[in-house]
Amino acid sequence: MEVRSIVLGPDEPYELRLTGRGARGYVWTWQVTGDADAVTVAEAPETPAGRNPAAAGAARLPGAPVERTYVVRARPPGGGRARIRFAQVRPPYPDEAPYDEFVLDVEVAAVTGGA
């Protein structure tokens, strides 16, 4: 399991790319803990080439891993810490351990006064 820490300003996005295994029945899920209202998480729409510009003309092989992109955005006005746990699971088997996990610790910087 990889753990990464980032600092975001209010309304700043961060793109996270994770390898998917959808052909094997796995999907990425996420859970936000800590200051859960400090961030939003959404899956970015998939591009036809799987978000890899080098593979724009290449066809994907059946069963090949596919990169998934998730956008984490700090919510204004800022301030707080959230932990996002991504888990790669197979929904038909809820008692099965995740195939892979990734933890993103996010610190959202508070807006400072000025002008």
Q: Is 56 helix (H, G, I), strand (E, B) or coil?
A: coil
Strand partners, 14: 72
pLDDT of 49 reads 52
Q: What is the pTM of this model?
A: 0.81
**Mean of the per-residue pLDDT values of the chain:** 86
40's CB contacts (< 8 A; 6+ apart) are 72, 73, 75
Q: How confident is the model over 63-114, as pLDDT tens digits?
A: 677 889 999 999 988 789 999 999 999 999 989 999 999 999 999 998 776 5
Determine how β-strand 2-8 pairs with β-strand 100-108: parallel
Give me 103's structure tokens. 């933890």
Q: Answer whether 33's CB lies under 8 Å from 83's CB.
A: yes
pLDDT of 57 reads 44
Encoded amino acid at 1, one letter: M
